[in-house]
Chain A
Amino acid sequence: MKKVVSIVLALALLLAAMSFALAEELPTITIMFHGSNVTDDTAVLEAVNAYIADKVGAKLEVVWGTWGDFDDKATNALLSGDTGIDMVFTCSWSADEYNTYAKNGYFVKLDDLIAEYGADLVAAIPESLMQAATIEGAEGMGIYAVNGFKDTATQNTWDVNVTLLNELGYTLDDFKAMSFYDFGELFQKAKALKGDSFYPFLVEPMVLERMVTGSIIVAGDSGSTNLLSLYLNQDDVSAEGPEGNVILNKFATDEYRKFVDKMHEYYEAGYVDPSLAVAETSNDTRTNTQKTGEYLIGTQSYAFGYEYSADVLDRGIEVAFVPCTDPYVDTTASQGAMVAISTASEHPVESFKFLALLNSDPTLMTMLNYGLEGIHYNLNADGLVEFTDERANYSPWTNGMGNVTILPDTAAEGAGFRESFKAYYAGAKAIPALGYVFDNAEVANEMAALGTVAAQYALALDAGALDPETTLPDFLAALDAAGMQTYLDAANAQLAAYLG
């Protein structure tokens, strides 16, 4: 009898020890974010882990991808089936491109998990974003990533130096009445006033091209230089464009010719900084000049509230963003920032629970995104967030994390900002081809060849540095030789099938 008791006792002890060990040893889940600037996350992760232990049943680790390294790190982790990465940022423009990687089996299909654990998530994220994430993946039609709720519509704007505009004797309303083709007189006067080394037209050449010709990025097109385009109906973005729902070779249109002719004229007149036409110096030049306010008109791909960011406030000039069109929801914008679960993950359930919580729970999102109250930020008298100097050591990329609409308002943005933000994007209309993604697998070789050709000409032409008279015909001939028609036909056949 004694023996039995002791065995039972021993067993009980063992069981207790085991369950204790189980309770202690929460599984670790790791998430890889894009574009952050984080040097010290210990305090934040400690708080986050204390908070999620019961709710998620796991311990979180974070890999803070920087802008430059994320693509390599994420693709290496996914391609090598790394079990150490459970969740990874993905979207329509990163190297681990959402549609391709979902189709090739790297992302877990989430539909069942959403049905079981995702009630809060579904409530927190607009239906349209769930729609945008629903694609044909390795496991059939479904959702393969949690779509972040951020600026979900595209809107390109003129970035106007109002201070200088007024000095030249124009008002903002005068400017709004002008089009790209009328800017010449403004530039001429600015140049006369500010001297020869002043370049009034500070553009992102590729964005400018979209603004002037009304072209829309086709998701799944060649990455660094787009070749394909749908066209926007500039008066009503939800209506069919002037060409109908057809994808065109964007460089072969009359509109494009007209645009590059004018741009070349501006360039030759010295209105455009020549550095903007060179791939590696273009962006550096633009951001550096923008900082100093030494321009008259720029281009800016806009997000609601950008005018309140330090980036704009520090320029020392009055800036106005004049939109070209209403914001429009296209595939690229609606798949702009997502987080997927890797099929190599050993803890997909815990990972999903975490993502669901992150996107629906303001406490967790605030902790992980803004840091800790009293360390990284303080709340001012109005209850608004004011960042401290510590924030410099902990600045994740806000929009890359998920649902930013549940974050508290910051003092710079002002009270009620998130509400206006949500309202602004809730009002955005979708383009007719929303959700269409070009599957380029069959024409991958053509795309590679075309990408090289486009990289040779497009940026320099868009910036006005090349004479379209001589180079555009060469460009178009080179595109044809590289298989443009095959590429275009494949895209259009798929689009027709998609639209039904």
Chain B
Amino acid sequence: MKVRPMRRWSWKDFWLLTMVLPGAIWLLLIRYLPMLGVVIAFKDYKAQKPNTFWNNLMKSKWVGLKNFAFLKSPATVTMIRNTLLYNGVWIVLVLVLAVTLAVMMSELKNRFAAKAYQTMMFFPYFLSWVVASYFVLAFLDPTSGMIPSIQKSLGLKPTQFYMTTTWWPLILTISNLWKNVGYSSVLYLAAITGIDTTLYEAAAVDGATKWQQVWHVTLPGIRPMIVILLIMSVGKIFNADFGLFYNVPQNSGPLYPVTQVIDTYVYNTYANTHNLGMSAAAGLLQSVVGCICIVITNGVVRKIDAESSLF
């Protein structure tokens, strides 16, 4: 990529260049050089003579779009639907809930309590999904989980949670909100505390009630933050949180209609076939779609509010 000369070159540019150098070298070596590997998505990758990676990469047969043929599977519709639907719904839910909680926290008179809530809400962010899955299991385990045990003691037939799809959209949603709402709301809270307080005073002078202040001052004040987080999550709408969909439902087969997402499908398929080309193809696809999503969202945002757009 050539940069067209704009100003006269100066020593300043040289010094600034030395600053970006470590990062740039890192990027070129560890991110850009391996990008040559995307050709694997279009090749039948096999060991050649001599068996070195670059030689294999160069000499393996081109197979066109054959590695993408896994998309023809009937499961494709389900997994794409699940990925998009869950992500879509969650983007909205996390946004609404996190903003609501943040507003509530900012309005608490007891600052100590606000601080305590905030610290606690950040906590789930530290736990991995593997650990979180034990917690869900503790409630739902068919043999010794809390809910089936209670049902049994009441003489009811225990629900087979890991066999029936009914509850899972709800369980996954709760799990996801549990993990992410606290973190986001802390971000929004920070944004709210950054709002210029004179705006509230002016609103109060105009006779605005507290609800009106929230609506007309707080929400517009955190709009840039909302937009940035929104663009980021829309860019990842094709990427599902693997641990959530794999560990939390214990990879239980009968739940696949509501738990299978692109990432778990690719993982399970790779575990079955160990086909490098297929997983490279899936990764490429997610990258391209993510790229398109980010560009589109960013474009829409720029139309509405140029200030808030990402680039």
Contact = CB atoms under 8 A, between A and B. Distances in A.
Is there a direct interface between A and B, measured as CB atoms under 8 Å apart in the complex?
Answer: yes
A466 B48 CA distance: 47
Interface in A308-343: 342-343
Given A95-B274, A223-B271, A449-B75, A343 B51 contact: yes
A478 B51 contact: no
B46 A104 contact: yes
Interface string B184-204: 000000000000000000000
A365 to B, nearest CB: 29
Interface string B119-158: 0000000000000000001000111000000000000000
B160 A456 contact: no
A285 interface: yes
A73 to B, nearest CB: 13
Contacts of B51: 81, 105-106, 342-344
A420 to B, nearest CB: 37
B142 A452 contact: no
Given A95-B274, A448-B278, A79 B45 contact: yes
B162 A456 contact: no
Contacts of B69: 445
A138 B73 contact: no
Given A138-B47, A224-B271, A448-B70, A275 B142 contact: yes
Q: Chain B interface residue count: which class? A: 35 or more
A343 B47 contact: yes
- Residue picked from A138, A285, A449, most chain B C-beta under 10 Å: A449
A232 interface: no
A458 B52 CA distance: 40
Contacts of A482: 73-75
B199 to A, nearest CB: 52
B276 A449 contact: no
A465 interface: yes
A290 interface: no
B64 interface: no
A455 B73 contact: no
Contacts of B141: 275, 281
Given A278-B162, A280-B250, A466-B254, A285 B143 contact: yes
Contact of A100 (B56, B251, B269, B274): B274
Interface in A281-298: 281, 285
B86 to A, nearest CB: 18
Contacts of A342: 51
Given A81-B53, A106-B47, A280 B252 contact: yes
A69 to B, nearest CB: 14
Interface in B37-88: 45-53, 55-56, 69-70, 72-75
A292 B265 CA distance: 36
A199 B142 CA distance: 13
A452 B75 contact: yes
Nearest to A446: B73
A402 interface: no
A481 B77 CA distance: 13
Contacts of A481: 74
B268 interface: yes
A214 B108 CA distance: 68
B70 A445 contact: yes
B272 A448 contact: yes
Given A449-B73, A451-B268, A451-B272, A104 B163 contact: no
A18 interface: no
Nearest to A343: B51
Interface string A65-82: 000000000010011110
B267 to A, nearest CB: 11
27 contacts: A81-B52, A96-B274, A100-B274, A104-B47, A105-B48, A106-B51, A223-B271, A224-B271, A273-B142, A274-B163, A275-B142, A275-B143, A277-B142, A279-B252, A343-B50, A344-B51, A444-B278, A448-B73, A451-B269, A452-B265, A455-B268, A456-B256, A460-B252, A460-B254, A465-B160, A465-B163, A466-B163
Given A274-B160, A448-B278, A452-B265, 17 more contacts: A81-B53, A81-B55, A106-B51, A222-B273, A223-B271, A223-B273, A273-B143, A274-B143, A280-B250, A448-B269, A448-B272, A451-B269, A453-B74, A453-B75, A457-B254, A466-B163, A482-B75
Interface of A: 75, 78-81, 95-97, 100, 104-106, 138, 197, 199, 222-224, 273-275, 277-281, 285, 342-344, 440, 444-445, 447-449, 451-453, 455-460, 465-466, 478, 481-482
A-B pairs with lowest CB-CB distance, top 9: A274-B142, A449-B73, A105-B47, A280-B250, A451-B272, A343-B51, A456-B253, A456-B256, A104-B46
